[in-house]
């Protein structure tokens, strides 16, 4: 058996060590007075920013789909004890960004919520109204109700200035255990292949982020907000050192819209469909590597078309910021303020040129949505005109003819057949579909055979249905 080994220590040395340790324990903790001393402890930063990080409790009412409730025989025995509606509660975090009580959190934290509460770090709770929801960025803004005080807030940092290796702190309420602080570094920036929201341009960090941290703050060592914690990569459900945060520059756009009283976020639109540059495309364009965003199509009269951008152009930067892929362009362009112009650098026939693109919001076009209720393969689907605004929102080619499916009801015929949100119905039984009323009319006419042509992911699909 191995045992620890000891050696004799002179009594004088022991007394000296005891004196040193006694003096050290008697010393009081001091707040660092310089940037170099700040590296020794994050306590002053946490003390300053923690009051601006809150817990968000969202209550959802969902229908009880227990099959016993649909059967009259079983309902007489079990129905009285089985409510048709159940209440589900979710927990997340949020950040106070305005002294009047505006809180920013994740959209997925409050999605479908009928009631929202905010709990401050001092344990006080307030009801909150949902001021703005922006599903595309996975952000939402709440307002504390009935508050008559000025709340502590966090200052926004320029998230584009973040570099890999920068130290960051994550603050939130993981697993509902209470406010928790973790630290780490920025392990990557501009992550675009995450799949959490439409605007994929995330800060990646190894600071521990767990369920319940969603909507919480990612701050730098100066206590400024660099991002809103949004998701983790995990096989176990817990932190594995890969967390993602929405950059503060995107958060600022959403918060500014809420501060101005808007119920929706208005961003610049390009009016062009972009595609990723594959190795094959890069070789054909004589590029050293696959980079940039290739213009696949343009909407007539759009800002891109008016700026002189053409199909086949390769966008490489926006106002000097490099564009690695279409997701990077979407982020760079969407975080520009409306008004003025953006300098879009692109390569055309091997030459670099600059286009001045007007920063305009999408035109407001009525959706003209129609819910298909007739007995047909489309029963349960909601369709709409493919307007430029809707095409941009759903990342579809605005030049495609047909109507787009905007919603598919759970358990419906349309869902069981396999129709998906974003499918464009081009024709039914060899009749072209130009507007939602066309599809509604054909579905209402009925029939035993259905030949349907749709566009999905840029591919045309034709199928036959019977019944």
Main-chain dihedrals φ then ψ at residue 174, nearest 5 degrees: -70, 135
Q: How confident is the model at residue 235 (pLDDT cuts 50, 70, 90)?
A: low
Predicted local distance difference test score (pLDDT) of residue 34: 72
Q: How confident is the model at residue 22 (pLDDT cuts 50, 70, 90)?
A: very low
Q: How many CB atoms lie within 10 A of CB 333?
A: 23
Higher pLDDT, 188 or 156: 156
Predicted local distance difference test score (pLDDT) of residue 84: 56
pLDDT digits (tens, 9 = 90+) for 106-118: 999 999 888 999 9
Q: Can you read off the two tokens belonging to residue 319?
A: 């106002």
Provide mean pLDDT across the span 60-88. Answer: 55
The domain made up of 52-144 has a fold known as Thrombin, subunit H (2.40.10)
Intervals of CATH 2.30.42.10 along the chain? 272-358, 370-466
CA of 188: how far to CAs of 168, 204, 331, 451, in Å?
Answer: 12, 5, 16, 48
Predicted local distance difference test score (pLDDT) of residue 199: 77
Predicted local distance difference test score (pLDDT) of residue 73: 47
pLDDT digits (tens, 9 = 90+) for 176-205: 778 889 999 999 888 776 666 677 789 999
DSSP assignment of 334-386 equals HTSPSSSEEEEEEEETTEEEEEEEE--BPP------EE--SSSTTTTEEEEE-
Helix (H) or strand (E) holding 75: helix 72-78
Intervals of CATH 2.40.10.10 along the chain? 52-144, 159-259
Q: Is 108 a catalytic residue?
A: yes
Please enumerate in sequence order all residues whose Cβ is within 8 A of that of 320, keeping only pairs 6 or more positions apart, or say none.
343
pLDDT digits (tens, 9 = 90+) for 125-152: 999 999 999 988 999 999 999 888 999 9
Predicted local distance difference test score (pLDDT) of residue 30: 60
Question: Which of the following is catalytic: 90, 159, 214, 257?
Answer: 214
Main-chain dihedrals φ then ψ at residue 97, nearest 5 degrees: -120, 0
Give me the chain's average pLDDT, please: 84
Provide mean pLDDT across the span 225-234. Answer: 82
Predicted local distance difference test score (pLDDT) of residue 4: 31
Please name the CATH architecture into which domain 159-259 falls: Beta Barrel (2.40)
Q: Strand pairing of 102-106 and 85-98?
A: antiparallel
pLDDT digits (tens, 9 = 90+) for 313-322: 999 999 999 9
Question: Which of the following is catalytic: 90, 134, 137, 138?
Answer: 138
Q: Can you read off the two tokens belonging to residue 408?
A: 């598919």
User: Where do we find the tokens 């690695």?
Assistant: 324
Q: Can you read off the two tokens belonging to residue 199?
A: 């605007």
Q: Is 375 a catalytic residue?
A: no
Could you tell me if 333 and 361 are in contact, meaning their C-beta atoms sit under 8 angstroms apart? no
| pTM for the whole structure | 0.75
Q: Is 368 a catalytic residue?
A: no
| CATH number, domain 370-466, options 3.40.50.800, 2.30.42.10, 3.40.50.2300, 3.30.300.10 | 2.30.42.10
Main-chain dihedrals φ then ψ at residue 6, nearest 5 degrees: -125, 160
Domain 272-358 has CATH 3.40.50.1820: no
């Amino acid at each position: 058996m191995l045992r620890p080994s000891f050696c004799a220590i002179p009594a004088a040395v022991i007394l000296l060590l005891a004196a040193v340790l006694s003096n050290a324990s008697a010393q009081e903790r001091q707040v660092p007075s310089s940037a170099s001393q700040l590296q020794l402890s994050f306590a002053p930063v946490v003390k300053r920013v923690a009051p601006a990080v809150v817990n968000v409790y969202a209550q959802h009412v969902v229908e009880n789909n227990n099959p016993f409730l649909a059967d009259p025989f079983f309902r007489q025995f079990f129905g009285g004890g089985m409510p048709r509606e159940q209440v589900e509660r979710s927990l997340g975090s949020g950040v106070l960004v305005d002294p009047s009580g505006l809180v920013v959190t994740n959209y997925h934290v409050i999605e479908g919520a009928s009631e929202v509460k905010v709990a401050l770090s001092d344990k006080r709770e307030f009801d909150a109204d949902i001021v703005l929801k922006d599903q595309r960025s996975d952000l939402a803004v709440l307002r504390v109700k009935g508050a008559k005080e000025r709340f502590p807030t966090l200052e926004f940092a320029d998230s584009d200035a973040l570099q890999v290796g920068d130290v960051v702190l994550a603050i939130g309420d993981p697993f509902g255990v209470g406010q928790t602080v973790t630290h780490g570094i920025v392990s990557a920036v501009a992550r675009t292949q995450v799949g959490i929201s439409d605007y994929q341009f995330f800060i990646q960090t190894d600071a521990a982020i767990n369920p319940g941290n969603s909507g919480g703050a990612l701050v730098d060592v100066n206590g400024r907000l660099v991002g809103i914690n949004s998701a983790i990569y995990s096989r176990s459900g817990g932190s594995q050192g890969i967390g993602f945060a929405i950059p503060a520059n995107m958060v600022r756009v959403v918060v500014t819209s809420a501060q101005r009283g808007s119920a929706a976020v208005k961003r610049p639109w390009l009016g062009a469909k972009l595609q990723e540059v594959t190795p094959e495309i890069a070789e054909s364009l004589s590029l050293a590597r696959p980079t940039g965003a290739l213009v696949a199509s343009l909407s007539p009269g759009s800002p891109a078309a008016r700026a002189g951008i053409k199909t086949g152009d390769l966008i490489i930067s926006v106002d000097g910021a490099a564009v690695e892929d279409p997701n990077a362009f979407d982020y760079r362009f969407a975080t520009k303020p409306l008004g003025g112009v953006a300098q879009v650098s692109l390569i055309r026939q091997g030459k670099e040129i600059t286009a001045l693109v007007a920063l305009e919001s999408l035109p407001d076009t009525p959706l003209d949505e129609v819910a298909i209720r007739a007995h047909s393969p489309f029963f349960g689907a909601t369709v709409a005109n493919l307007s430029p605004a809707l095409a941009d929102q759903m990342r579809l080619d605005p030049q495609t003819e047909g109507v787009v499916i905007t919603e598919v009801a759970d358990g419906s015929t349309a869902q069981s057949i396999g129709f998906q949100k974003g499918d464009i119905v081009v024709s039914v039984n060899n009749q072209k579909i130009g507007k939602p009323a066309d599809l509604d009319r054909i579905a209402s006419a009925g029939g035993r055979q259905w030949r349907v042509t749709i566009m999905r992911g840029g591919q045309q699909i034709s199928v036959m249905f019977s019944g």
